[in-house]
Structure 1
Amino acid sequence: MSLAGRGDSDWLAAAARLAARARPLSRPNPAVGCIIVRHGIVVGRGWTQSGGRPHAEAVALDQAGEKALGATVYVTLEPCAHRSERGPSCADLLIEAKPARIVIAEIDPDSRTDGAGGERLRKAGIRVDHLPIPEAHASLAGFLIRQRLGRPHVTLKLAMSLDGCIALADGTSQWITGEEARAHVHSRRAIADAILVGGGTWRADRPRLDVRLPGLGHRSPHRIVLTRGDVPPDVRRIAAPADIAGLDSVQYLYVEGGARTAASFLAEDLADRIEIYRAPIVIGDGLRAVEALAVADLASTHGRWQLAERRQLGSDCFEAYARART
């Protein structure tokens, strides 16, 4: 199928959509997408496979075969420069395939690459362009934050009434949102490495914290409880939000609450995305979605969050806010 005339940013955005297929199955490697285009026609495409190998470029090159010669390669993350026991580097594979040009969205912050992949390709006579786009950055958020900050990307999920309550005054919370919103939550769980709740939520509800969508039960994330109390052997325990830095194999952490847990992650400035499911009901005297935060002044709160997505899920409204990039 010919798609001639599409710009570089469009091809990279398409590669980022492919990368979404790898999350979270590619862990501990990043979810990368790659598209190879020759004369306006896609001749190869790939995304990081389960367990991290083969890499996206290797899959796309294998599909393209000899058609990669003289083509343009669009990849969301700089091709790796280091050879491992599992195979050659992607930079070497690309040099062997001899494309005319490679367009990279994000430079790999891994010290084993970090510019070295692009430099090796340039020395081999291949044109390399760097074109950052928001879609690619978002698709690699977990990997980039893990590399730069030493912790996972944290999504804070809140289901609430119009007036910001997550439960009645007596703690009753089933169900504030409708079936479509709850199904959407399960789809979000399916792309997380781990899911976390607070000790109070765990003790009160004993939530299953799994994925209950047809055919996706195997995608249930690891379970974590923020508590100093006892948890079952198959549940991990951390004592404080800052302890997420020790979750080495986790790139994407999905935090479901409750109110105290939400406040603690916000207070520690550890939330990267907030996802709100807002039901068209008013509770009044109920439990608030977030416990009190000691905000010093309103000016400091502006500009921190940007609307990333909004959609209707049945009668409920879904809104996602991403941390503003600086």
Structure 2
Amino acid sequence: MRRAIRLTADPPRRTSPNPYVGCVVLDADGRFAGEGHHRGAGHPHAEVEALAAAGGRAAGGTAVVTLEPCAHRGRTGPCTEALSAAGVSRVVFAVEDPTRDASGGAERLAAGGVEVVGGLHREEAERHNEFWLTSVRRERPFVTWKFAGTIDGRSAAADGSSRWITAAQARRDAHALRAVHDAVLVGGGTLRADNPHLGLRHGVVGEPPLRVVLDSAGRIKPGARVLDGSAPTLVVVSDRAGEPRGLGAAAGTLAVPSTEDGLDLAALSERLFARGVRSVLLEGGARLAAGFLAGGLVDRVVAYLAPMFLGGAGLPVVTDIGVASMAEAARMRVEEVRQLGPDLRVVMQPEPRDLDACLRTHSA
């Protein structure tokens, strides 16, 4: 099973809207016969790849797979049928499939006489597939909020300058983080102030993510760098605004409802999910981060902290989230702390209970 899990993470890639899945097939004597992993929508599933590699040796053997084999027909046929047709006598999987369409594979296999064992190394397999699992369970993308700031929580100096807070090692790591997310998201303030490109740089290679920019009034300039055609771009506008012009062939628009505080971020998340986006890297700015955090829409925080102070006149990494006391604080659980050159990389996960309290306060 650990070998099957490693197949989902090496090399890092995106398979959305499908999950990461790895599979190892053993022959009837328990010896390695074949392996495979899912490479993306439209490609064979991991079980099919592994069975093809194993050939006739799969008969009477065991399939070890990171996710419960699917029982539905999409772009490819049900994996349960492929396993049964190959004569596999035993299937061991790590995580139950949480989707309505594909779940039920274990029961179908068992009904056909196949021995089925679930839950092996479930926690480890969930961790490697957390983008997809979180998104399908919550019906919205997994959101990673990434920011670079000073030790005192400032993202820019009083004059607005922010180039560069962190050193080269942290900047490269941040671009590697972009490469594993389906989309990178920035707000209108960042769009107008920084004219970001949101592509992959600093030696990071791979398929660039979807660039999502919030522009509620539809005022994006035709010469904006995110419209250069090097990667797809989605311009999100208010459903009260007109459609922006001059976006180019590589850009599309998405209209979402507005609230008193701006665009409805929950509706935005739901509509990105409907488009097949399973993970979003939230990069800026401070007000947008506050909206996601207060709305309980952040699943992980990656903070790059530079050993410097900018003081009270500097611009904060996040604005008001409706917290008036320590009891209402949006608390985090630290997952990892690592030094990158002179900077610190701190990975945190919000505590759900505290985010719920923060959400109630913000709504009030």
Q: Considering the TM-score relative to the shorter chain, is it more than 0.5?
A: yes
Aligned positions of 1:269-280 closer than 5 A:
269-280=296-307
**Deviation of the 1:305 alpha carbon:** 3.4
Partner SS state of residue 145, structure 2? strand
* 1:240 is the counterpart of 2:264: yes
1:17 alignment partner in structure 2: 6
Q: Is the 8 A contact 1:280 1:315 kept in 2?
A: yes
Instruction: Kindly state the Cα deviation for residue 245 of structure 1 after the two structures are TM-superposed.
Output: 1.0
- Tell me the TM-score normalized by structure 1: 0.86
Q: CA deviation at 1:182?
A: 0.7
* Kept in 2: contact 1:22–1:47 (CA 8 A): no
- More displaced, 194-203 or 127-136? 127-136
2: CA distance, partners of 1:40 / 1:280? 53
Q: 1:283 to 1:14 in 2, by over 3 A?
A: farther
Does residue 102 of structure 2 align to residue 113 of structure 1?
Answer: yes
1:281 aligns with 2:294: no
DSSP-derived class of the 1:20 partner:
coil
Q: Shift of residue 22 of structure 1? A: 7.8
Residue 50 of structure 1: SS of its match in structure 2?
Answer: coil
Query: Does the 8 A contact of 1:30 with 1:52 survive in 2?
Result: no
Q: Which runs of 5 or more residues in structure 1 are unaligned?
A: 1-10
Q: 1:258: Cα distance to partner? A: 1.4
Give the AA of the match of 1:244.
Answer: S
Task: Please state if 1:219 is matched with 2:224.
Answer: no
Match of 1:162 among 147, 151, 168: 151
Tell me the CA shift for residue 325 of structure 1.
7.5
Does the aligned pair in 2 maintain the 1:29–1:52 contact within 8 Å? Answer: no
User: Given the superposition, is the C-alpha separation of residues 34 and 297 from structure 1 closer, same or farther in structure 2, using an over 3 Å criterion?
Assistant: farther
State the secondary structure of the residue aligned to 1:219: coil
- Following superposition, the deviation at residue 159 of structure 1 comes to 0.8
Name 1:55's counterpart in structure 2.
Answer: 45
In 2, Cα distance between the equivalents of 1:317 and 1:100? 50
Conserved in 2, the CA contact under 8 Å of 1:22 and 1:50? Answer: no
Q: Structure 1 pair 298/94, CA: closer, same or farther in 2 (3 Å)?
A: farther
Of the structure 1 ranges 156-165 and 314-323, higher mean CA displacement relative to structure 2 is found in 314-323
* Match of residue 201 from structure 1: 190
Deviation at 1:227, TM superposition (A): 2.9
RMSD, aligned CA = 2.4
2:291 and 2:299 map into 1 onto residues whose CA distance is: 14
Alignment of 1:251-262 (within 5 A): 251-262=278-289
Instruction: Report the Cα distance in structure 1 between the residues aligned to 2:188 and 2:59, rounded to whole angstroms.
Output: 56
Change (3 A) 1:215 1:171: closer
Instruction: Give the 5 Å matches for 1:34-49.
Output: 34-38=23-27, 41-49=31-39
What residue identity is the alignment partner of 1:43?
A
1:76 correspondence with 2:66: yes
CA contact (8 A) 2:14 2:181 kept: no
Q: For structure 1, which segment, 276-285 or 291-300, has the greater mean C-alpha deviation from structure 2 after superposition?
A: 291-300
Preserved contact between residue 311 and residue 319 of structure 1 (Cα < 8 Å): yes
Alpha carbons of structure 1 residues 22 and 202: separation in structure 2 relative to 1, 3 Å: same
1:101-140 matched pairs, under 5 angstroms: 101-114=90-103, 116-131=104-119, 133-140=122-129
**Are the equivalent residues in 1 in contact too, given 2:135–2:279 (CA < 8 A)?**
no
C-alpha distance in structure 2 between counterparts of 1:45 and 1:324, whole Å: 37
How far apart, in 2, do the equivalents of 1:299 and 1:207 lie? 37
In the other structure, the counterpart of 1:294 is: 322
Deviations 1:190-237 (A, max 9, x none): 111111011111101111000125472x51111112231323564421
Question: What does residue 142 of structure 1 align with?
Answer: 131
Deviations 1:47-98 (A, max 9, x none): 21233421111111111222323433222211110123x4321111111223
**Counterparts of 2:152 and 2:3, CA distance in 1:** 38
CA shift digits 1:115-143 (9 cap, x unpaired): x2001111222221221622321333232
Distance 1:82 1:63, change over 3 A: same
Give a deviation string over 1:235-266, Cα, whole Å, max 9, x none: 42153322121112210110001111111110
Corresponding residue to 2:88 among 99, 122, 127: 99
Amino acid paired to 1:281: M
Contact 2:23 / 2:37 at 8 angstroms: preserved in 1?
yes
Task: Out of 22-31 and 100-109, give the one that drifted further.
Answer: 22-31
Verify: 1:65 aligned to 2:92, yes or no. no
Deviation at 1:278, TM superposition (A): 1.1
Instruction: Give the CA deviation at 1:103.
Output: 1.9
Contact 1:192–1:254 under 8 Å retained in 2: yes
Distance in structure 2 (CA, Å) of the matches to 1:296 and 1:215: 41
Distance 1:28 1:180 in 2: 31
